[in-house]
Structure 1
Amino acid sequence: MNVLLVKKAPCLQSYTFLRTGARWKRPYPIQPRASDFAPLAELEHLESLHLSVFLATDEPPYDRPDDHGSILLRLAGNRRKLRSLTWDWAMATKNLPAPGALAQLARASKALKQLTVPANLTFAHLCAVEPQIGLERLVLATGTVYLSREKSHRWLGSLWPRARIEDQS
């Protein structure tokens, strides 16, 4: 479906996808995968991308490998105009973007002003940091994983020194 969207609306500036946790006729609705949204990287005029995927209360997160980090990089890295990226998605811990992916995202997305994402920050404090000044607001979405919240927040503050960090995890 997103491939068709890219063909039919190449000048799209804003994209919102909401998948509620409500059940449909099946026991479990089909869960989207990160790769389903990769074609959106072709939208050169995209300024705002908001993905919210909510699961039913008894529905487990998609637990097969699904590379959210590389899809985030692909979406944000090539977009000169992308200002806001929300990736609010309940996912299995092994699919959460790791500190290395966040550092790559910081380097690749110079225009990004607001980022909302869950992340695996377990060993973030051990990763090298190259400060990036573009981001103004970072929201850690529900599902973010820590070993030490304070150390992870310090690391994020070093990565994006101008960003206001909000933790919703």
Structure 2
Amino acid sequence: MADDATPLDPAELGVYFSLIEVSSLLRHAVEQQLKEAGGLSYVQFQLLARLGDAPGGGQRMTDLADGVVYSRSGLTHQAGLLEKAGLVTRAPSVDDERSVTLTITDAGRDVLAAVFPGHIDILRKMFLAPLGAEGVAALEGPLTAVRDHMRAAPPRSAAPRRRGAGGTSA
């Protein structure tokens, strides 16, 4: 990480605060809608949506944790809640017996179908409409670049696990 203590200029500070505020306001509205329409938390929705898009409806839990940037232990808790609600199943991975695969159920797909219309409506009204097509196109490149830059140095939840003191790490 850079050790540059140069203060941010007003434009840099302004864009940072705008991004944080937009993100917070949008997430709050989305969380409310998900809770009301499907009884889901934001993370649970992310998990179901990723599983719904995955080939065969399943994905390894470690890959899910990396994708949604959530701790592995937190994901295990959320998966347990979703499983108890009948929205997913957990089973040993066919590729790696040490891994667990989470798979969306028909009931999970039904919940997604119930929450998506309201979710899309909020995204359009709160985020996309004020931007218009030109604004969306203008933001796509810079936001993708920032995301890719941040993903190049993944957060701890997405970092490879270290092996024991005598072991090796990949």
TM-score normalised to structure 1 length: 0.23
More strand by share: 1
The structure with the largest alpha-carbon Rg is 2
Instruction: Using structure 2 for the length normalisation, give the TM-score.
Output: 0.23
Which structure exhibits the higher relative contact order, with contacts defined as CA atoms closer than 8 Å and separated by 6 or more residues? 2
